[in-house]
Structure 1
Amino acid sequence: MDKVTLEDYDKRNSMRFEEGKQLIGQIISDFPTGIFPIILDVGCGSGNLSRAMARLIPHDTIFGIDSDLGLVTLSENKNSTPETISYVSQDISQPWDQLAPELTRLAGHVDLILSNITLHWVTDIATACKNFEHLLKPGGVFYFNILGIKTIPISPKLQCLPQKRIVSQITEMVSILYRNELEVRRSELFQNRWLYSGEELYSLIPIMYKMCYNLINESEFLKFDEIEQEKVREEIRNGVHAAYVFDLENVEENYVVASGEQFWFRYDSFTM
């Protein structure tokens, strides 16, 4: 992680935190008298959602898990962290025998797993879901939301970016869950928008670029020369801007960089 304070991180992730609060609200609605002794927050980031859960959901222990050691360290050092929260630096998509002992010793004992706007970054969703199945106790529950990655135009001669429609992404995720013996009781797609300042564009958009860069077929990409590779990156950047960033006054028009103080970030997410 680049050097950043928790305040900076939380500012550029305000939408993510709001989505997480809605996920907590859904859990409370589904289990109004529920008690979850052991909770995992997968992709905890700065720990702000872990701390919110500590206030709102009856529990004994919350484990905040993130693959970014820098964020985990910052979260551990935050003065307001309740004593019931512990943080673990871990890529949850690693094979079971490579997970931290703090996690493997929880096998079959976890009451609730929550993952908020995280799983689209996971390199091996199937392995992650298999790990969740190992961790959950009988009757344990798994709540998550995930960004749907929009398709963007790429020149046919530069095509090295496998893309799927949002509906196909949902169908694939449901299939992975069932293959790993995780029953799907809810699957909802939301089309949302979030108001950001023009200044926040410069910290938000590179994250969206990276999300698409991660989809590049590396073997196909390496067949291009340096000029063509940069052209692919440019088309991704332009495509991300066209797909996600819209004018404050006219949501059908793209936001022109530095043209105003605020813009709409339009995104799809699905919750299960």
Structure 2
Amino acid sequence: MNHIIPEDYANSTYNTDAIHLESIQLIINEKSSYDLIVDLGFGDGRVTRKLSENLLHKHVVAIDVVPEMLAHAVANSSDDTSIEYVLQDMSVPWLELSPRIRQLESKVDLLFSNVVLNYMSNKRQIMEIIGRLLSSDGLFFANIVIFKDLTENKQLLDSMFDERQQQLLCQSIDRQFNDWKQSIIDNKFHIKQFKLMSDNEIMTRKQIIDFMPVLVECYAIYYKDRHHFDTEVKGDRFRDLLFNTYFSCLTVGESVTETNNNNNNNNNQSVMMSWKQFLADNTIHEMQLSWHFVRVMAYNQ
């Protein structure tokens, strides 16, 4: 996320508001009061403020790795003095975390993370850290994006990607799902809900343009060499592949419900378009984004 502009991130993720609001309601249904809350990966700070507004609490610690995100969130945090913003890379081992984060060990009543843990390449390590932070019977609630396997669409790959790049791409949806579940089980959480969910969102042209850098960054974790990813992978062909994998055009007059019901069929019949063609075609005002995520609700034992 270090390459994402906070304003662009905020503009491109408003369509997930319904998901995090639903999540907050599910948390309230479990318990309405949590003394210490951690929001892991606060982004632009919008969800952190919603947590603070809707849940009874004493303190919220909001953690993110991007300095620009922290500055943006603080600037827009109004007068809520219960929120503490902390800059921390949570992908490092426990002993490399800052003293402030390690001070929270066994004290966190609710650890919430919304579409952020998917940036963590070491699933078992982050789940071990979450387990150490949570109090006994503390609640872990997360929505974790499950990325699409870019090797599945052979038609796109044949024309856009060579074999060497294919081998470095994302795991299958089933593999990601099972790896997350196993990492939670291995760290002795009691799982109350672990469900693969899909969502189809209508995005405006501006939202798509703002979201594309975020989507590109999502796949960086699958490349061991960041320099190779930046210089050799995330070029025009990679953006074309992502664009055609995640987005489809709406038929004129088609409702969102009809689009959702016919999503697979629409994707199969959609005409491939390059990212540059989309940028140049100002007649395309909206497209559908299709994605998957895992909803996790688990208690620390």
| Alpha-carbon distance in structure 2 between the residues aligned to 1:100 and 1:16 | 30
Change (3 A) 1:94 1:158: closer
- Partner SS, residue 164 of structure 1: coil
Alignment check: 8 A CA contact 1:40 1:64 kept: yes
Whichever structure has more helix as a proportion of its residues is 2
1:37 is aligned to: 35
Residues 5 and 157 of structure 1: is their aligned pair in 2 closer, same or farther, counting only changes over 3 Å? closer
> 1:212 is matched with which residue: 197, 219, 232?
219
User: In structure 2, what is the Cα distance between the partners aligned to 1:88 and 1:120?
Assistant: 20
User: Of 106, 124, 127, which residue of structure 1 is paired with 2:125?
Assistant: 127
Aligned to 1:85: 83
1:54 to 39, 52, 55: 52
Match of 2:144 in 1: 146
Distance 1:150-1:79 versus aligned 2 partners, 3 A rule? closer
State the Cα distance separating 1:79 from its structure 2 match: 4.9
User: Structure 1's 105 and 158: CA in aligned 2 closer, same or farther, altered over 3 A?
Assistant: closer
1:271 shift after superposition = 0.5
Residue 216 of structure 1 and its aligned partner are, at CA, apart by 2.7
Q: Distance in 1 between matches of 2:247 and 2:236?
A: 16
Q: Which amino acid aligns with 2:71?
A: T
| Count of aligned pairs | 262
Deviation at 1:2, TM superposition (A): 6.1
CA RMSD of aligned residues (A): 2.4
2:17 alignment partner in structure 1: 17
Q: Is the 8 A contact 1:197 1:261 kept in 2?
A: yes
**CA 1:81–1:22 in 2, change beyond 3 Å: closer, same or farther?**
farther
- The answer (yes or no) to whether the contact 2:93–2:125 under 8 Å persists in 1 is yes
Q: Does 1:261 align with 2:285?
A: yes
Distance 1:267 1:116 in 2: 14
CA distance in 2, matches of 1:213, 1:238: 16
Contact 2:60–2:82 under 8 Å retained in 1: yes
Q: Which amino acid aligns with 2:185?
A: Y
Distance across 1 between alignment mates of 2:80 and 2:191 = 32
The TM-score normalised by the length of structure 1 is 0.87
Displacement of 1:156 in angstroms is 2.8
| Aligned equivalents of 2:4, 2:124: Cα separation in 1 | 31
For 2:290 and 2:79, the matched residues in 1 are separated by 32
The one-character-per-residue Cα deviations of 1:3-29 (angstroms, maximum 9, x if unpaired) are: 9565x5422211333322221121122
**1:239 and 2:241 aligned:** yes
Q: Is the 8 A contact 2:4 2:213 kept in 1?
A: no
Q: Is the 8 A contact 1:162 1:217 kept in 2?
A: no
Of 140-149 and 232-241, the range deviating more from structure 2: 232-241
2-structure distance, mates of 1:3, 1:176: 28
Whether the aligned pair in 1 keeps the contact of 2:37 and 2:108 (CA below 8 Å) is: yes
Q: Matched residues in 1 for 2:191 and 2:225: separation?
A: 33
Specify whether residues 158 and 61 from structure 1 end up closer, same or farther in structure 2 by C-alpha distance, changes over 3 A only.
closer
* Unmatched runs of 5 consecutive residues or more in structure 2: 152-156, 260-265, 297-301
CA contact (8 A) 2:64 2:87 kept: yes
When the two structures are superposed, what TM-score results if normalisation uses the length of structure 2?
A: 0.79
SS at match of 2:60: strand
The CA deviation at 1:267 is 0.7
Shift of the 100–218 alpha-carbon distance from structure 1 to 2, 3 Å rule, reads: closer
Q: Conserved in 2, the CA contact under 8 Å of 1:63 and 1:86?
A: yes
> Is the CA contact (8 Å cut-off) linking 2:196 and 2:295 kept in structure 1?
yes
- Using CA pairs under 8 Å that are at least 6 residues apart, name the structure with larger relative contact order, 1 or 2: 2
Residue 157 (structure 1) shift: 4.8
Which of the residues 206, 212, 226 maps onto 1:199?
206
Partner of 1:117: 115
Cα drift, residue 43 of structure 1: 0.5
CA contact (8 A) 1:43 1:67 kept: yes
Identity level (%): 19
